[in-house]
Amino acid sequence: MSDLGGVDTQLLEVESLHKSFGGITALGGVTFEVESGTLTGLIGPNGAGKSTTFSIIGGMLQADSGAIQFGGEDITGESPDYIARKGLVRTFQMSREFQNMTVIENMMIAPTSQRGESAIQSITPGLREDVSEQEEDIFEKAWEMLELFDIDHLALENAGALSGGQRKLLELARALMLEPEMLLLDEPFAGVNPTLEKKLINRIERLRDKGQTFLLVEHDMDMIMDHCEQVIVMHQGDTLLTGTPEEVQSEERVIEAYLGENVE
């Protein structure tokens, strides 16, 4: 993880993001901050601009104007690879694993410092002793991460055979192989059964307690209110309110924004 020196507790700073598509305004000045070592929720009715905001922060989209700082560095307009190398990594609502590869192969392909693909080719029964020192380190790290998420028993299964919830666990484990300072989680609990959902939030909270920072988009309001220290509310492409769960739930503007919406 990157060393930010502990000077500024605001790890991510988003200032006045604007984005239009074909004359339609998607974002009209989104501004918020995320404190280091916290679990922060980003919520809003359908069409509020949450996904667009995530895509701009992660470098998948370019803003028309505005600025993004991460760890005190301006990352506005940088590529997803550059942003990930700086320690800001995004997961997606739809898991993006390599379905024809095994779970452990998916894990080992994640580290950006890996030289070549020999590590992937070598992880088959009986061949582990042939891997290089670097590959051995990556293998050990991948296995430890699978154990953390209780999916090490699936290591040699094809990723395409996993359930939706297991794929969510795999995607988060893969993201953590990059040793990010902060993770952007896009609906991490969608399609996850209650048992795996509990396991996933427990892992996220354990990582948060160790200093990891999370910003998550999620439609399950009970999940957001029960587990996040801070909640950012978006409405019609702008930031409506930032506050604690208690403050957000008692705010009349938030109630009005959600009135008539199916928040699931």
Q: Give pLDDT tens digits for 6-15.
A: 445 899 999 9
- What does the pLDDT read at residue 113? 44
- Residue for token pair 């700082």: 69
Closest to 36 (Cα-Cα) out of 244, 213, 230: 213
Who wins on pLDDT, 168 or 74? Answer: 74
- What does the pLDDT read at residue 99? 83
- Kind and range of the H or E element at 31? strand 24-35
Q: Residue 6 class from Cβ within 10 Å (0-12 exposed, 13-18 middle, 19+ buried)?
A: exposed
87/81 Cα distance (integer angstroms)? 10
Cα–Cα distances in Å, from 61 out to 25, 65, 133, 202, 237? 14, 12, 38, 31, 15
Who wins on pLDDT, 209 or 192? Answer: 209
Q: How confident is the model at residue 1 (pLDDT cuts 50, 70, 90)?
A: very low
Asked whether residue 58 carries a pLDDT value surpassing 50, the answer given is yes
- Mean pLDDT, all residues of the chain: 83
Averaged pLDDT, 41-56: 93
Asked whether residue 161 carries a pLDDT value surpassing 70, the answer given is yes
Domains and CATH numbers, the chain: 10-97+180-258 (3.40.50.300), 98-161 (no CATH)
Who wins on pLDDT, 90 or 27? Answer: 27
Averaged pLDDT, 61-75: 96
Q: How confident is the model at residue 189 (pLDDT cuts 50, 70, 90)?
A: confident
Averaged pLDDT, 143-169: 88
